[in-house]
A and B are shown apart, each in its own frame.
Chain A
Amino acid sequence: MSIVTQPQATEAPARGRLNWTILVAGVIVGGWIVLAVFAPWIAPYDPNAVDILHALAAPSADHWFGTDQVGRDVLSRVIHAARIDLVMCIAGVLPPLLIGTTVGLLSGYYGGVVDTLLMRLYDLTAAFPFFVLVLAIVGILGPGLLNFFIALALVGWVTYARLVRAEVMSIRDSEYIQAAQCLGYSDRVILTRHVMPNAFGPVLAYAVSDSVLVMLAGASFGFLGMGAQPPTAEWGVMISDGSAFIRQAWWICMFPGLATISLGLGLAFLGDGLGQLRRRQVSA
């Protein structure tokens, strides 16, 4: 018999109206990436050029965002700082993501004693506030960006592991994994080709929102003097430096603050939008 009588499956679901959240987020984040990449060409001044004669100048046609206490152009510093802060987002998110995903995959798929132990480790980590734990580790290792990233990786991976593990445990029992086992694929193939691609969606969405946290943490640690070290242009460091002059020169703190907020919002929207997109795909 022919298959004509079968109901035809609907075509690929129409893309529907454009996902505005993702578009707005993309413009903000993309804008910052462009600014960061082309910073030397876009920034009107050298970010570290001291011009003591024009210190604490208010925003003007020459210095759109004004100058700081030693006469450095705030606009140029905000643009150059985007490089540090964006790199921080990536360097702060990738290591925990890679470690966490690997651990989550293995412990979710095989289960057993190792899985139980890892989950207790998670509970232990989750019992401490994120910032306090990172602060404690950086305190032990000493200030500096590298130590900050190490602390982030040590604390951050458990969340990814937990997330991936939960996904893997539901995928593990699905029939396409049973089919893959029945077809005699190796565990490595099943994990990387069949489990992982289907477990990765929520991880990606979380990683983007996590980068907001990392960026804020980076700025906070810069502010506290435990992250990027002056005179490096970094938003948190800039806010910290300018805080002493907040009464005379609000612009020193204000513009890096706005930059932090806009990138943070952009990333948060992006994470949210990706999550929505994924849910829509799943329900389609």
Chain B
Amino acid sequence: MNSAVKALVPATGPLLQIDGVSVSFGSAQVLKDVSFQIAAGEIVGIAGESGSGKSTICRSAMGLLPSTAEVSGSIRLGERSLLTLGEAEWSGIRGREMGMIFQNPASHLDPLRRVGSQIAQPMIRHLGLSRKEAMERAVALLDDVGIREPAMRAKSYPHELSGGMKQRVMIAAAISCAPKLLIADEPTTALDVTVQAKILELLKDLNARRGLGIVLISHDLGVLADICSRIVIMRQGEIVEQGQTAQIVEDPRHPYTQLLVNSQPGRKKLRSGWGKPGVQEPLLQVDGLTVSFPVKRNILDMLRNRTPGRFKALDGIGLAVQAGETVGIVGESGSGKSTLARTIIRQNTPAAGTVRLDGRDIGGLSGAELSAYRRNVQMVFQNPYDSLNPRMTAIETIAEPIWRHGLADRRTAGEEAARLLDMVELPRALGERKPRQLSGGQCQRVGIARALALKPRLLIADEITSALDVTTQAQILELLARLQRERELTLLYISHDLSVVSSFCQRVYVFRNGRIVETGAAQEVLTRPREAYTQELVASLHRLPGGSAAMAETQAGA
């Protein structure tokens, strides 16, 4: 691999050179002999799943590792060796020569200070500017990072800004002293896709205009492939492969890289759905559904004797799902997609409209009829750890609904639960474990098994893979597609990720602000979106180039 790497080094000498870096905490080694370089003005991506050490390498380059870490190897910024620096020398480099932005901008901004002064701070410190000059520059920087009315926004507090704007402020602060290198650790992971696209556009633009070198860390290979010239793939603290973006994406050599590439949502068309053609009575029918929540009344409203308004989370939604279909609901945060799921499982009461299963309004169900409805409609939740009772073992969790619904006695329910474990491809030995002893993907399989324990006809999956690594996500989706055929399920799949939905679902509803903006066959919506909002969603997708069925066949033999 080394010879290949050398060929990539530009003649001018690298901006940042990381050579044989190993990091360990006590006996646990988290980085093993990591070497890569970044040339001035280059964007390098580091891809890897959780625990791959991709954040650790960047933290060691910024001197931000805890003091318990043992670091060996060498990290050089230009001519300077970084690992031997003292804290005083570090503070002259951080913010001045290297900037860093993080996944969650909210936790890296001081909530009590106006954003303008937070951007001005490093310039006062490093460049010796006066307060007034620094503030003027801060406003100019806000303008640079694409914030409208920058002079006014500079006076805002962080909580007055949206997530995307906070990340722009972080970027403005990081580039305020014109560093040569920006380290961006999952800068867009917490943001909606359309906002993500804009932030990436901004990074690309800064790179082009200012010659800013960028290290972009992400779990999303699609994002990296879009803006990086080179990509480094990490796994379990080691670099498994690095090279030009085109080579990594189109001709991955290492089996893990191949797995990662093939796990990207939308790479592989999953066969889902088993419905019979022809028009039939829909299994689930939603008509004019409106759900609203009271807006909190503040003291001013009380004095003025104003009644609090109600926020409409869903505003006159109508949709129908045929038996055997896989229907996707796509939307960004706050679009009302989770409210729909919660209304179908009767966690929210509609203000208007009806939800019907087999033509029967579910609003008035109670007693035995409600129990029957519960057996027909089940849901898998988003957070794999939070959705399981931490005090119950996997097998207890899966067996509980069976005997509580009187479908079997407790012993038989246990045996049935073990069969369900087989079905979701979990070893039976894991059945005795509690959630905290399982991985995220394993917990999500337990959640699926629990939902299937009552043999439902309709299964609602609300963002069930968004907390999982991409290879795990691909496995869960495949499992769901198989279970759907085997158990004759009808699926309502809710996600913010249009590429997942369109590769997995037959029909798609696009939600925005509590309304349906577009609906149609998944392929149709993805390739020929009609509405402006859907077009924006589709444009913000980061899909790997190429991507064919042939690629999917070369599955890693892991």
Q: Given A176-B386, A178-B347, A183–B391 Cβ distance below 8 Å?
A: no
> Are A9 and B447 closer than 8 Å at their CB atoms?
no
> Are B374 and A198 closer than 8 Å at their CB atoms?
no
Residue of A nearest to B475 (CB): A1
Residues of B with C-beta under 8 A to A185: 400-401, 404
Any A CB within 8 A of the CB of B454: yes
> Are B345 and A182 closer than 8 Å at their CB atoms?
yes
* A131–B162 alpha-carbon span in the complex (Å): 50
B242 nearest CB across to chain A (Å): 21
Residue of A nearest to B373 (CB): A184
Any B CB within 8 A of the CB of A61: no
Any A CB within 8 A of the CB of B359: no
What band does the interface of chain A fall in when counting residues whose beta carbon is under 8 Å from B? 20 to 34
Q: Given A182-B379, A184-B374, A185-B404, A3–B441 Cβ distance below 8 Å?
A: yes
Residues of B with C-beta under 8 A to A189: 404
- Select one of B378, B386, B474 contacting A174, CB under 8 A: B386
* A181–B346 alpha-carbon span in the complex (Å): 9
* A82–B15 alpha-carbon span in the complex (Å): 74
A184 nearest CB across to chain B (Å): 3
* A178–B25 alpha-carbon span in the complex (Å): 39
* A182–B341 alpha-carbon span in the complex (Å): 11
> Are A198 and B51 closer than 8 Å at their CB atoms?
no
B481 nearest CB across to chain A (Å): 12
Interface string of B384-397 (1 = CB under 8 A from A): 00111111000000
> Are A184 and B405 closer than 8 Å at their CB atoms?
yes
- Select one of B50, B382, B401, B439 contacting A183, CB under 8 A: B401
* A197–B442 alpha-carbon span in the complex (Å): 23
Residue of A nearest to B454 (CB): A183
Residue of B nearest to A182 (CB): B345
Any B CB within 8 A of the CB of A60: no
Residues of A with C-beta under 8 A to B131: none
Residues of B with C-beta under 8 A to A194: 389
* Candidate in A7, A11, A185 with the most chain B CB atoms within 10 angstroms: A7
How many A-B pairs have beta carbons closer than 8 Å: the answer is 93
* A180–B397 alpha-carbon span in the complex (Å): 10
> Are B381 and A179 closer than 8 Å at their CB atoms?
yes
* A12–B435 alpha-carbon span in the complex (Å): 11
Any A CB within 8 A of the CB of B471: yes
- Select one of A4, A6, A9, A176 contacting B437, CB under 8 A: A9
A180 nearest CB across to chain B (Å): 8
Residues of A with C-beta under 8 A to B219: none
Any A CB within 8 A of the CB of B259: yes
What band does the interface of chain B fall in when counting residues whose beta carbon is under 8 Å from A? 35 or more
> Are A184 and B471 closer than 8 Å at their CB atoms?
no
* Candidate in B388, B390, B425 with the most chain A CB atoms within 10 angstroms: B390
Interface string of B463-487 (1 = CB under 8 A from A): 0000000011011001000000000
Q: Given A3-B475, A5-B471, A185-B404, A178–B391 Cβ distance below 8 Å?
A: no
Interface string of A1-41 (1 = CB under 8 A from B): 11111111111100000000000000000000000000000
> Which of chain A's residues 132-165 have a Cβ closer than 8 Å to chain B?
none
> Are B426 and A183 closer than 8 Å at their CB atoms?
no
Any A CB within 8 A of the CB of B515: no
> Which of chain A's residues 175-220 have a Cβ closer than 8 Å to chain B?
175-176, 178-185, 189, 194, 197-198
Residues of A with C-beta under 8 A to B556: 5
Given A182-B374, A198-B391, 17 other A-B residues pairs in contact with their CB atoms under 8 A: A2-B558, A3-B425, A6-B441, A174-B387, A175-B381, A175-B387, A176-B387, A176-B388, A178-B379, A179-B388, A180-B389, A181-B345, A182-B347, A183-B454, A185-B400, A194-B389, A198-B389
The 10 closest A-B pairs by CB, nearest first: A184-B374, A175-B387, A175-B381, A9-B439, A5-B558, A175-B386, A182-B345, A183-B401, A176-B389, A9-B438
